[in-house]
Amino acid sequence: MFKHILVPTDGSVLSEAAIQMAVALAAVHEAKVTGFHVMPEFHILAYGVETLIDTEEQFTRHARQHADAYLAVLGQAATEADVEFDTVVVTDTRPYEAIIGAATKRNCDLIVMASHGRGGMGALLLGSETQKVLVHSQIPVLVVRQKVQAIGSDADAKRSLSQPLIVA
């Protein structure tokens, strides 16, 4: 069913859960997985006081080290599952556009990504890259969500960390 899965990661625990889900799906469908990370652009005052002493070169080097570490999680999971994989790192100010662009360019037929489930002011101020991908992507998206504490049956309250929400 799926031949090529894109899995964006930001290095979070939920992104690691999305990686595990993507690799498991790829193993079942004998698909390829592409790990994807979007590095922020260098802005002298945008990321905190510590950037005042960073040069653009230092900032880029640190961002790339983080990206490599995040994507190494995919490499290890894919290798253990005997799944073909590659990784891509780009710099962009609009991660959701970079994600959709990479999925389109690489002919991916599924995007698997995490949702941190921010609501209220957090969602308003920070936005949601997952939400933006869901709204703008023509490619199906599988969302790995955080644990849900639902009001209702015990079965609802016991949903696992990596229970996906599938959006086509």
Beta strand segments in 79-160, E:
85-91, 110-115, 141-145
Residue 143 structure tokens: 């969302």
Q: Comparing 25-29, 47-51, 93-97, 148-152, which segment has the lowest mean pLDDT?
A: 148-152
Q: What is the mean pLDDT of residues 121-126?
A: 50
For range 34-63, the mean pLDDT: 78
pLDDT at 58: 87
| pLDDT at 155 exceeding the cut of 80 | no
The owner of tokens 């005997």 is 82
Q: What is the mean pLDDT of residues 34-57?
A: 74
**Which pTM was predicted?**
0.80
| Domains of the chain and CATH, by start | 4-167 (3.40.50.620)
116: pLDDT strictly greater than 60: yes
Compute φ and ψ for 66, nearest 5 degrees.
-65, -45
